[in-house]
Amino acid sequence: MKLAVVIPTYNEKETIQILIEKLFSEIKPIVDELHVVIIDDSSPDGTANIVTDLSDKFQKISLIERPTKLGLGAAYKDGFNHVLEKIDSDLIVQMDADHSHNPSEIVTMLQEIEGYDFVVASRHMPNSSIVGWGVGRQMTHSFAGIIARISARIDIKDSTSGFRMFKRETLQSIEFDKIESDGFAFQIEMLYQLKQKGFRGLEMPTIFVNRKSGKSKMGGTEIMQFIKTCFSYIGKK
């Protein structure tokens, strides 16, 4: 089984090296081939330099450097297209660089994806937990998920989860040119397309850990775009 892991970065110098090293120490031994794809939005903290140094050690690391901060959704589009065009992988994982997603959970994903087209590490499953979020943020997250599920009519409870695994043919079916959001709402648009195309997804429990270093990329503009995207699905078939 050949696996590619796609990771967007912006100012992640404090986390990216540990994450990449964990991927190659914990996941590479259980797959036939591991390729890590980093999409960096010209991080001023030197994230790209760290990735370049690590590529000499681990070899199968691709670094896509973009000229400016273009958004999470746009980063995933570039990363997914890079994998589909240039990397021979059977499965593709998307995950954050800030240690909120545990690489060891990819082991479970590899087991669970049998019989499904994609797997989502869900914060809304029994045995899941969120570490480091207050009650207010958890309520906001839950409310956003409800809005997304109702408006876009998707079955996945944790529709904003950024920790997912796709079979190659599933990802190939996505019409990225029809995805309008360059931000976090990209996650909703992907699930909507997968639902419309009849793909089967599975949610699995996860332990989500709020970032302990660096800064969150979620801002007011991202939130407004998310709301706009959700409401755009009302009335669609």
Strand order in the sheet with 33-40: 61-65, 33-40, 2-9, 91-94, 164-167, 118-122, 201-205
With H, G, I as helix, E, B as strand and everything else as coil, classify residue 130.
Answer: strand
Q: Is 77 exposed, middle or buried (0-12, 13-18, 19+ CB in 10 A)?
A: buried
d(CA 139, CA 145): 10
With H, G, I as helix, E, B as strand and everything else as coil, classify residue 7.
Answer: strand
Q: Is residue 51 very low, low, confident or very high in pLDDT (cuts 50, 70, 90)?
A: very high
Domains in the chain, ordered, with CATH? Answer: 2-232 (3.90.550.10)
Read off the DSSP letter of residue 5: E
pLDDT per position as a tens digit, 146-167: 777 676 678 888 888 999 999 9
- Nearest Cα residue to 65 out of 1, 137, 134, 8: 8
Q: Residue 220 pLDDT > 60, yes or no? A: no
Q: pTM for this structure?
A: 0.89
* Residues above pLDDT 70, as percent of the chain: 83
